Structure 1
């Protein structure tokens, strides 16, 4: 689990590290008898003390630098007490010195597919939760929103190199004609992972193999990487001269904006829509249907096209996605692709039809940060805490629907604020506390 740490040696008598004073442990780290990284192993299972000692080491280092007092006092503002470090060590973070509390709010509840759900949001941006709450309230007043799961599948795309173009062509053909054998190899490594497709593209002699698989209630990066590794071993039996350059060749695409995710999807592909009654638009959102439809074209469609945006045909999808991701223990770096979204609005009779289409929502309810107490609490608040025993995968699907509904609410409210000219006044009121 950790790099090897010296387990004994606090003094000439070889006192166990756990019986040494903090000062002695700090000296041991400075003299490299214990690695900075290995404090948890040396003091296991007292992880809290390991963190306390590491903070003292950091404090001593800071004391020798310019503005020492300021840096040392800064450490005192970073909490580390009253936290279950057993769930973190070896899984979520290394070289731990504490945790960063983030305010948690809740928008809604919002009516999604006939059932009400709260939307937990962790953010430091004033007005975001209030705005999303207003959008959710308007949607619920109008009968709620509907969601559609268009497809799902986490992807991983290794890059391999062949000795000749002819050999690369044979690999391309083999992948197209022998999917079932690769699927069998892939699925032998996992209980829940099911390989749905394999797309092979060439760049000269190099081949990029985009494996796509459902991963149950997990976000699935580890699961699919393990399966891909097994499938590659089968490929190498048929192509022994094939060199695996990397298990990820960026054609996946993970944690980066890309057209392939926008077009083919990654994770959960979800559409959410609602019909807003004209009187709700005017009473709750303080604008008109016509002004919203017109502004959506000018801003979210034309403006984003002029900017050359990939998947950015929206007002603030990333705002809602990031806040929900942080609250529910998702990977914040995957906000990049998960917030790709096109927002559409049209007038139906006198009412407003609004939708968000999001092809790449990457979420899970097991693994990663979802096991931490507060994050698990937010998932349980929604009703998707942990894997579904009856129907594996449905809890992660539910979370993706809530994310899409949250984005729908945030889009509706922000666009209404812009249409009515209220954006600045709302932010000044909620972002600027009077001293």
Structure 2
């Protein structure tokens, strides 16, 4: 995770001196020791500095365990800047803001696209050519051409910043809400470039997502339904063996889901099914118990299958789905 405060000096000479010190080995060591002293999990990895006139913007990049970590990193940055001011010869510096937008949080920005923020994930799948034809109702070359024309060239024509994909934000937003993440961080977390190519007659598809901002403890993850969803994924709370692994796994789950969503939508577009399916489903009557057919006898949807597994695991077979979620959410 990153935090980029804004520090002001009276003259450019002093701002430049502070930048030189922060970029030096001695400066990095001093700030690392100060930052790391504030947490058991937060560990400073690097500081990247930028000058704008007499304003200095140091971008702190840190680990935060399994938490998304904004509070953790802000606390560490605040203490490190205090040490810089009081012990390192920069008592003339003015801390304008602990967040100076060089982080940058909840905004599309090149710094996140290039340097990453949170978790940076690349996911890949190879789809056999016959599966593309029989299941996705299109062919490999058509999908590759569509991806270039739409997700790469079309996005470039629009001046996209990290938006070289079909609809990554749809999947990211859904999982964020379901697992208790900060929905405002969908902005940068959905930055994604989707690539496709013909690999010896098969479809090779990948998504690269440099700034997925997630945590598996704290914030909205403590809510019962969201906690239950994290339980289903096997990532709730902190990983006691290797702190940070749960959050990294959740980020990988999100990237894999985004890849599946990209494949689905692009295939529908290539086959000409998008409008047809939207008209069929969006124009139908609102779903009610009376007009919504249930699954075939003995069949289970993914949701009911998950609920059944939760009941069996918790010994709650006779309880309602709502009761199962409450029980799963409170089980520690």
TM, length-normalised to structure 2: 0.84
C-alpha RMSD of matched pairs (Å): 0.7
Structure 1 distance, partners of 2:185, 2:138, is 34
Structure 2 distance, partners of 1:299, 1:194, is 40
1:42 aligns with: none
Post-superposition shift, 1:377? 0.4
* Per-residue deviation, residues 363-412 of structure 1 (Å, max 9, x unmatched): 00001100100000001111101111111100000000000001000000
1:427 aligns with: 278
Larger-gyration structure (1/2) = 1
Give the alignment partner of residue 160 of structure 1, picking from 1, 4, 7.
7
Structure 1 distance, partners of 2:276, 2:118, is 37
**Superposed counterparts of 1:35-434, under 5 Å:** 154-177=1-24, 178-237=27-86, 238-434=89-285
* Per-residue deviation, residues 39-77 of structure 1 (Å, max 9, x unmatched): xxxxxxxxxxxxxxxxxxxxxxxxxxxxxxxxxxxxxxx
Structure 2 distance, partners of 1:234, 1:167, is 17
- The answer for unaligned runs of 5 or more in structure 1 is 1-153
Post-superposition shift, 1:282? 1.2
Post-superposition shift, 1:429? 2.3
* Per-residue deviation, residues 258-311 of structure 1 (Å, max 9, x unmatched): 000000000000000000001111121111111100000000000000111010
Large movers: runs of 4+ above 6 Å: none
SS at match of 1:232: helix
Structure 2 distance, partners of 1:253, 1:430, is 39
TM, length-normalised to structure 1: 0.64
SS at match of 2:252: helix
1:63 aligns with: none
SS at match of 1:266: coil
Post-superposition shift, 1:427? 1.5
Structure 1 distance, partners of 2:276, 2:247, is 37
Structure 1 distance, partners of 2:224, 2:108, is 31
